[in-house]
Amino acid sequence: MAYRTDLALEAREMYYETAAAEAEIDGVEVSGEEFGEDLKVTRVKITSPAGEKALNKPMGNYVTIEIPNPMCEDSELYKKVRDICAKEIKNILNLSGKETIMVIGLGNQNIIADALGPRVVEELVITRHLKKYIPNEFGEETRSVCALSPGVLGTTGIETGEVVKGLVEKVRPDILIAVDALCSRRMDRVNSTIQIADTGITPGAGVGNTRMSLSRETLGIPVIAIGVPTVVDAATIAGDTIDLIAEEFKSHSAEKGKLLENLGEIGNEPDKYTLIKKVLSPSFGDLIVAPKDVDKAVEDISSVIAAGINLALHDEEAAV
């Protein structure tokens, strides 16, 4: 599997594309719900090493919420998305009632396409200090929530994993929620997909570096990752377009359509994406792009995720 993606849903689609499989994948359970044309939930559960291998993703739960884009804050739709987020986060957290939750906003807050995590953190209802310093007013029924945005390696000089590990050792939360902007491998996922997974996350993984992941293995507590693809690489845009042209050509010339589909092979590369990356690499190999209006999209989506987390972690009254 040459295509690497942050989204389990895409991994599954790619699997079917390349394997041309029609049957169910062993060790992969899928269920879902639809709430109208542009709003649906898909739950992918990878239950065995076979499933792990097929989708190139660790065992665990992956919930994908496909949302309309754009989605205006304050609308009915917004509230529906918020409630779905809250419900899915609650399910995957499986809280008993007294946990301390730490939320980490990954990403660079000064690059708007990367600022989803820090933006979510800014809108959370924080209670840990209230419970600690005025316990009489905020008792057992208030869940203890704290949150921090640790910045990125390039601007702090410190591995995000180091910062988070230091925090976890001091604060000793029961669960970590990490929110991050992702890079998509398909244009149509950008700003229209929210993925919630219980398998952890590796900050800055998109760049290909070996970084310390945030996971139960490294931190000793469950790590729930919430991600939204906000960017796409130039190679993906080119690849998606060539696919569309191939489709168009097939109707009048199967041969030429096929030629486009098999560009990778012709270029002596394992697949089309690798070929494209190769020709782009001298000047644009790692060009990551965001839709022009990414500012508004990130604002709206981070707002709806924060509202969903608030609703999942606090009583309804506290959350508004």
Q: Which of residues 219-248 bind a second copy (CB under 8 A)?
A: 231-232, 234-235, 237-238, 240-242, 244-245, 247-248
* Burial of 141 from C-beta contacts in 10 A (0-12 / 13-18 / 19+): exposed
Which segment (13-21, 41-49, 143-151, 193-201) binds a second copy by CB under 8 A? 143-151
CB-nearer residue toward a second copy: 54 or 223: 223
CB-nearer residue toward a second copy: 52 or 269: 269
CB-nearer residue toward a second copy: 9 or 294: 294
Size of the site for a second copy (CB under 8 A): 76
Shortest Cβ 245–a second copy spacing (Å): 5
**Contacts of a second copy in 250-269 (CB under 8 A):** 253, 256, 259, 263, 266-267
| Residue from the set 176, 177, 294, 304 that interacts with a second copy by CB under 8 A | 294
Distance CA 103, CA 128 (A): 12
Shortest Cβ 75–a second copy spacing (Å): 6
Shortest Cβ 196–a second copy spacing (Å): 22
Amino acid in the structure at residue 199? T
What character string, x for contact with a second copy (CB under 8 A) and - otherwise, covers 165-184? xxx-xxx-------------
| Residue from the set 58, 107, 117, 151 that interacts with a second copy by CB under 8 A | 151
Q: How far is CA 95 from CA 90, 119, 156, 163, in A?
A: 7, 24, 33, 25
Residue in the block written with tokens 């600022």: 115
Distance CA 258, CA 261 (A): 5
Locate 86 and state its tokens.
């809250």
Distance CA 243, CA 263 (A): 10
Nearest Cα neighbor of 64 from 189, 180, 203 is 189
CB-nearer residue toward a second copy: 23 or 136: 136
What character string, x for contact with a second copy (CB under 8 A) and - otherwise, covers 23-62? ----------------------------------------
Q: How far is CA 242 from CA 1, 18, 59, 236, 247, in A?
A: 20, 16, 33, 10, 9
CB-nearer residue toward a second copy: 106 or 145: 145
Q: Are 85 and 160 in contact (CB under 8 A)?
A: no
Cis omega (within 30 of 0) on the bond before 70?
Answer: yes
Determine the distance from the C-alpha atom of residue 220 to the mean position of all C-alpha atoms in its chain, rounded to a whole number: 22
**Contacts of a second copy in 66-125 (CB under 8 A):** 74-75, 110-114, 122
Amino acid in the structure at residue 172? R
Which segment (1-9, 27-35, 56-64, 274-282) binds a second copy by CB under 8 A? 274-282
| Residue from the set 127, 184, 193, 215 that interacts with a second copy by CB under 8 A | 127
Name beta bridge partners: 104. 148, 178
Nearest Cα neighbor of 84 from 30, 45, 38 is 38
